[in-house]
């Protein structure tokens, strides 16, 4: 080591030693892993109106029960019947697109939500998404 310690460093060190401040032990790992309370809902086979009602009620119930994470399974829309009706937009009636849009356009639901993001493969991948909820006030 070098003996070239500045006067400022010496003063800072003396101030630290004379105070009650403690340094955190970086070698000690916190055993408190944040475990998320998770619930899931599967909306396969529901009409758009019924799915919207189900997800609305489900989000409110999860928020009231202090659930942190919701897994919403919508499916990928591969078997959607909207292809039989040429007057229905291909993406409009598929739950995969419509449910997140319904949630994002609902101000009261968005006040309870931190984030909506795509699910990992093990939770449904492209046919599912996550909703992370705020803590109940």
Better pLDDT: 26 or 82:
26
Structural domains of the chain, ranges and CATH numbers in brackets? 38-133 (3.30.1370.110)
Sheet with 128-133: list strands edge to edge.
38-42, 69-73, 128-133, 113-118
Q: Tell me the per-residue pLDDT of 53-102, one tens digit each, with 9 for 90 and over.
A: 999 999 999 999 999 999 999 987 555 555 555 434 444 447 888 899 99
């Amino acid at each position: 080591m070098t003996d070239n310690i500045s006067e400022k460093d010496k003063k800072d060190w003396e101030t630290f030693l004379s105070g009650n401040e403690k340094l955190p032990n970086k070698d000690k790992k916190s055993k408190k892993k944040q475990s998320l309370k998770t619930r899931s809902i599967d909306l396969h086979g529901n009409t758009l109106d019924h799915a919207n009602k189900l997800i609305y009620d489900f989000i409110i119930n999860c928020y009231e029960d202090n659930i942190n994470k919701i897994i919403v399974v919508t499916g990928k829309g591969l078997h959607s019947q909207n292809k039989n009706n040429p007057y229905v937009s291909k993406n409009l009636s598929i739950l995969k697109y419509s449910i997140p849009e319904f949630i994002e356009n609902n101000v009261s639901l968005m006040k309870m939500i931190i984030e909506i993001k795509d699910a990992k493969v093990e939770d449904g991948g492209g046919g599912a998404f996550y909703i992370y909820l705020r803590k109940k006030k």
